[in-house]
Amino acid sequence: MAETDNEPLPEADTGEDAGYPLSEARIGRIMEALDDGDRARLWAEMEPLHAADIADLLEQISGGARRRLIALYGQEFDGDILSELDESIREEVIGLLHPEVLAEAVRELESDDVVDLVEDLEDDQQEAILDILEASDRLAVQQSLTYPEYSAGRLMQREVVIAPEHWRVGDVIDFMRGAKDLPEQFYHIILVDPRLHPVGNVTLGRIMAARRGTALRDLLEETFHTFTVTEEEADVAYAFNQYHLISAPVVDEEGRLVGVITIDDAMIVLDEEHEEDILRLAGVGEEGGFSGRLTETIRDRALWLFVNLLTAILASVVIEQFAETINQMVTLAVLMPIVASMGGNAGTQTMTVAVRALATRDLTPRNALRMVLRELVVGGANGAVFGVVMAGVVGLWFGVPLLAAVIAVAMLLTLVAAALGGIAIPMTLERFGIDPALASGPFVTTITDVVGFFAFLGLASLVLL
């Protein structure tokens, strides 16, 4: 091939950083540069990293290393890094930044990212960031903060591209070419009537493919959703996922356009909802993860450990009622944990499926009875299968046929109760406005333990003694 004056293409990265730039090797090199106080080498290692990767790095290292890295990193700090940081350390990082560095970082952000940044900060830090913004941007952020927490008004961005409904393709192209403050990324032109009521979306692709004289109204998308500023962000995220939306207008109480929500923000909400459900199913709140403050993590986990302690005491009370039975047949004490463990696992399986189905709205009052019956069949089938298995094991192990029959029946009853409790408890909590992901675990555990011990020891008392 003939040589050209163009710069050579970079070689393909086939090394350790190819898929995920923030590899262990790179982190090691960053820490070495940090320990040596080598700012040039630190910059060389961090320059290829995405803002999300740098946020991951700041979350993974210790507090002391985080302070030294920010100090050595210098006078530039991408505002997107602040947006990507976990809330538990974001406030700390903001406090470490030089005011001028913080000001430049915040000015780079879209209005929705600024709202997300400041809404959880202390009042003094919140005011300091708001003072950085230009008057119009500050007013927009302050107005967004007046909307309810976790609402569409908090989630939306104010930067939006609109066009009168009578415009043609040529009009909007000329407008965009002459505009100086278009959003960095947008997907739709929102058509509005004279009262600023949105009437439809037109994709940029359709605009670029149409002739200049084509009326924008002829290019409207078939699927068009609007959200009110007070609508819950979880409902917004569900709609984006359900109807495959890319962006959607947000309107005030009078139906006037005030902002737009884009798919990236909606998917972040959906991801946070999933993460929150997983943590709550384990009895761990938002502050109970690895990035949370130590004291808050201890407090958060201790609360649910205390609840579990109470349920364990209740199960022990049931066992105590059959103390004489256990004394006469010590073998029962050997087999009790098997019944309880199987019931607990079966209950957790059903509960997890039920909580997820409630969150995705696949489990509704209309199909609740069918789903409950389905889980009862699943619990009964598994109870019968594993009851027979345990009967064979116990028969060979202890050579007592009646004991084998007792554990088989107890296993069946326990798994049926676990299935019923695993789906009925989340549904009941949802009905009374209580988050089923947060409160279902202890109740399901209590039911499976109590039913399992009562069935096994009660049957043993009646049949064996």
Long-range contact pairs involving 285-290 (C-beta distance under 8 Å, separation at least 24) = 285/438, 287/88, 289/88
Q: Please give the Cα distance from 332 to 462 (Å, whole number).
A: 13
Could you tell me if residue 287 is inside a domain?
no
Residues 171 and 140 in one domain: no
Residue among 156, 175, 104, 160 at smallest CA distance from 133: 104
Residues 375 and 413 in one domain: yes
| CATH number of domain containing 66 | 1.25.60.10
Residues 271 and 302 in one domain: no
> What's the domain range around 191?
162-281
pLDDT digits (tens, 9 = 90+) for 161-173: 999 999 999 999 9
Q: Please give the Cα distance from 204 to 201 (Å, whole number).
A: 10
Distance set, CA 350 to CA 157, 424, 439 (Å):
39, 10, 15
Residues 141 and 258 in one domain: no
Could you tell me if residue 4 is inside a domain?
no
**Cβ(94)–Cβ(58) under 8 Å?**
no
Phi-psi region of 433 (alpha: psi -120 to 50; beta: other; left: phi over 0): left
Q: Which of 146, 179, 198 represents a domain boundary (last residue)? A: 146
Interior angle at CA 29, CA 23 and CA 35, nearest 5? 135
Could you tell me if residue 17 is inside a domain?
no
Residues 426 and 320 in one domain: yes
Chain CA centroid to CA 339, Å: 34
Q: Which of 146, 173, 192 represents a domain boundary (last residue)? A: 146
Could you tell me if residue 181 is inside a domain?
yes
Residue 17 carries which side chain, given as an amino acid letter?
A: D
Q: Residue 228: what pLDDT?
A: 96
Total count of domains within the chain? 3
- Tokens 């009905």 locate to 431
Residues 404 and 450 in one domain: yes
Phi-psi region of 147 (alpha: psi -120 to 50; beta: other; left: phi over 0): beta
Chain CA centroid to CA 78, Å: 24
Residues 231 and 139 in one domain: no
Residues 174 and 135 in one domain: no
Residues 316 and 455 in one domain: yes
pLDDT < 50 stretches in the chain: 1-17
Residues 172 and 273 in one domain: yes
Could you tell me if residue 288 is inside a domain?
no
| CATH number of domain containing 460 | 1.10.357.20
Residues 311 and 450 in one domain: yes
Residues 221 and 335 in one domain: no
Q: Which of 239, 255, 281 represents a domain boundary (last residue)? A: 281
What single string gives the DSSP state of each residue in 240-285?
HHHHT-SEEEEE-TTS-EEEEEEHHHHHHHHHHHHHHHHHHHTT--
SS (H, E, C) 146-215: CCCCCEHHHHCECCCCEEECCCEHHHHHHHHHHCCCCCCCCCEEEEECCCCCEEEEEEHHHHHHCCCCCE
Could you tell me if residue 180 is inside a domain?
yes
User: Residue 121, SS3?
Assistant: coil
